[in-house]
Each structure stands twice: as structure tokens, then as C-alpha cells.
Structure 1
Amino acid sequence: MSRVFDYLARFAVIVFGFLCAAIAASFFANLLIIGTFGWTDTAPFAFSGPIYFTVFFLAAFFAWHAFFPAMAAILLAEILQRRDGLTHTLAGGGVSLAAVAFAAPDLFFDTGLTAALLACGLVGGFVYWMVAGRTSGEWLDRQPVN
């Protein structure tokens, strides 16, 4: 029974890490939007209200499109027991590129947009590592308790 609890607890940590990564990538995308369009004079206003909606709206959008590539990367990291930050950060970038390639293949060749989404994926991968990736695959090393 303890092994089942370990699996459920790890699954909960993975889901929480994925949600944190999507929110962090979305927040970074909002910062890129504010900086790219030169809205520096409206930035204090954006941080007092609208960003609370746009971050979570964009996070849901990111999570929806990145779910399957992210779960493949997370499963691979769990099986290979990769616990380093560089692996998870680069996997986040790869997940973002895969999500763009599958969701909007015509936008994949827009270098500015692709670079921005790649940066958001790198941030998301790093946040996932901070939340859940540092203990990736540890459940495989535990011995079953009788």
C-alpha cells in the first residue's frame, strides 16, 4: 500500500510542477509582451490588475498545447532519473518548440515568435525542475515495504 501512495504522491508533485511551469512561462510571456510593444509606461498599471487575468488565461493556453510533449519529456526524465536543472530546462524548450510545431505549424517559421516561445519554455522547464524535477525518478530507487 505504501508503494501505491508513493506513486500517487509523485503524480501529484508532477501535476503541481507542470501547473507551476505553465504559470511561470505565461508570466514570462506577459513580461515579453509588455517589453516588446514598448508598454513600459503602462507596466505599473498592468501589474495592478490585468496581468492577473492574462497570466492564468495564457497559462491555460500553454498547458493545453504543451500537455502531451511535456508528459513525454517528464516520463523520459522520470525513467532515466534525470535530476539536473539543465536537462529539465532544455526539455522545457523542446516542449515549447514541439507545442508550436503541432499547434500552429505556420507560425513555427516566424523566428521572433518562436524564439519568444522557446524562452518561455526554457523558463517553464526551469520552474518545473525547481518544483518537481529535483526528485525525478527517486521513487524507482525505493524498496517495497512489506
Structure 2
Amino acid sequence: MSFSRIIARLMMVPIGLFCAILATGIFLAFALLTMDPHQASDPEIQSIFTLFWGVVIAAMLGPLSATPTLAFLLVAELLSWRSLYIYLGFGLALSLFAFHLPQEAQDQVATALDMRAMASGLVGGFVYWLIAGRGAGVVKRNAANKPKSF
């Protein structure tokens, strides 16, 4: 294992996590702000408004999801999980548990919000996998000790 590989992983994981949280926030803001079809008619103002609220939502999501996400990423790095499906599944599960309240009445609005939240979790999982998840693992793998892929 080389020192440069460890340094590269130490840089890529926070960058990937930051981009994933930002993408999740922007996607969720876009999904929530497009629920009402009678919004502002100017698309430029609506785009700027969506990006602003995306950054605000990302700033709120980051601290809420930090502990489970960092624990998962530590396990993923140690076990060299590189499958896209693992990161998509974690993003989906994390967003479902973060946004769905067990006592919440299930009406059409709550179901629509849960679906948008789960889709944003998939976006976050994909962005993290794209940036840092494909090269997960600090141990160099060869054919003899390569983990089985799904």
C-alpha cells in the first residue's frame, strides 16, 4: 500500500461526500419547488431560487446525516465496497429514515414527499460513487483477495 494512495483516498472521500450532499440538496430543492405548478413564470429566477434553497437544504442535511454516513463510508473503505448498488441502497435507506416520520399519516402529500426524498438519496449515492466510491479501499487488491462483486 502506497502513501500516495492513502493521501488520495483522504482527499477523495470528503470531496465526494461534499458533492453528494450538495447534489442531494439541489435535487431535493428542485423536486420540492416543482410540486406547485403555479409558481413564478420566469425560469431564471426560479433556477436561482432553486439553487439557493438547494444549498440551504444541503447545509441542513450535512450535519443530520454525518454520523451514519461517516460510519458507512469507513466500513466501505475498509472492505473495499465498489458496487454502485451498495451506495444507491445506502443513499435510499438514509433518506428514507431521515425524512419519514413513523407517526406520520400517509396521505398523498406525505407519500409524494417521501418519494422525492428517496430519489434525492439515490442521487446522492450515485454522485458519491461517481467521485469516490468507484475507487474505494485502501488495501490494494489482486486476483487472489479480490472481493466478490454483486
Q: TM-score, normalised by structure 2?
A: 0.77
- Offset of 1:120 from its aligned partner? 0.7
Q: Please give the alpha-carbon distance, in whole angstroms, between the structure 1 residues aligned to 2:16 and 2:105.
A: 26
* 1:98-117 correspondence runs (5 A): 98-100=97-99, 106=103, 110-117=110-117
- Offset of 1:6 from its aligned partner? 3.7
- Counterpart amino acid of residue 70 in structure 1: T
- Counterpart amino acid of residue 45 in structure 1: I
Q: Please give the alpha-carbon distance, in whole angstroms, between the structure 2 residues aligned to 1:42 and 1:33.
A: 17
Q: Deviations over 1:12-64 (max 9, x none)?
A: 211110110011111111221232111373443211x3234222111111111
The structure where helix makes up a greater share of residues is: 1
* 1:13-28 correspondence runs (5 A): 13-28=12-27
Conserved 8 A contact 1:107-1:113: no
- Counterpart amino acid of residue 28 in structure 2: A
The equivalent residue for 1:119 is 119
Conserved 8 A contact 2:32-2:116: no
Determine if the alignment matches structure 1 residue 33 to structure 2 residue 13.
no
Q: Please give the alpha-carbon distance, in whole angstroms, between the structure 1 residues aligned to 2:14 and 2:8.
A: 10
Identity rate of aligned residues, in percent? 29
The equivalent residue for 1:60 is 59
The equivalent residue for 2:89 is 90
Q: TM-score, normalised by structure 1?
A: 0.79
The equivalent residue for 2:71 is 72
SS at match of 1:83: coil
- Counterpart amino acid of residue 62 in structure 1: L
Q: Please give the alpha-carbon distance, in whole angstroms, between the structure 2 residues aligned to 1:118 and 1:16.
A: 22
Question: Cα 1:135–1:108, aligned 2, differ >3 Å: closer, same or farther?
Answer: farther
- Counterpart amino acid of residue 111 in structure 1: T
Gapped regions of structure 2 (runs ≥ 5): 142-150
Q: What is the count of residue pairs matched by the alignment? A: 138
Task: Tell me whether 75-84 or 125-134 shows the greater mean CA deviation.
Answer: 75-84
Question: Cα 1:119–1:40, aligned 2, differ >3 Å: closer, same or farther?
Answer: farther
Note the aligned Cα RMSD (angstroms): 2.7
